[in-house]
Amino acid sequence: MAFISFALTKDEFLSGIKRQTRRDWKLSHYKNWQKWYNEGKIIHDAWDKVPFAKGKKIGQFKLTRQPYLQPINEMTELDLFEEGNMCKSISEYCDLVKLPASHVVTVIHFVKL
């Protein structure tokens, strides 16, 4: 079982508002998540911080579709909402994650268990 740290969006994850996350992962890590999905490994742990930063498990989530790659600038209003409803625009989102709008990220859709 893999995990994702929700350090910036812990409260949004715990409330169930957050149903998507975008990650600036290496291609090999993205391919691992695709492989796990294809193997039926769709339940994973949610952490408040990464374990080496003394993080702790805060729950689990279930993938609702296969992970995919997408430029940030292709996010929709629904995507922004399901990212935790913290940002009202792609520009705000880019400021939060400190990435340019053209940057391609891994997109994970999930539900909190």
76-102 tens-digit pLDDT = 999 999 999 999 999 999 999 999 999
Cα 34 to Cα 86: distance, rounded to the nearest angstrom: 27
- Domain spans in the chain, listed from the N-terminal domain onward: 3-112
- The phi and psi torsions of 13 (rounded to 5 degrees) equal -65, -50
Residues facing residue 105 across a β-bridge: 70
CB atoms inside a 10 Å sphere around CB 105: 19
Of 86, 92, 110, give the one whose Cα is nearest residue 9: 86
Q: Any idea which architecture 3-112 has in CATH?
A: Roll (3.10)
The pTM is what? 0.94
User: Which two structure tokens, joined as six digits, stand for 2?
Assistant: 């893999």
Cα 60 to Cα 58: distance, rounded to the nearest angstrom: 7
pLDDT of residue 51: 84
- The phi and psi torsions of 39 (rounded to 5 degrees) equal -85, 0
Residue 19 has pLDDT above 90, yes or no: yes
pLDDT of residue 1: 75
Report the mean per-residue pLDDT for the chain: 96
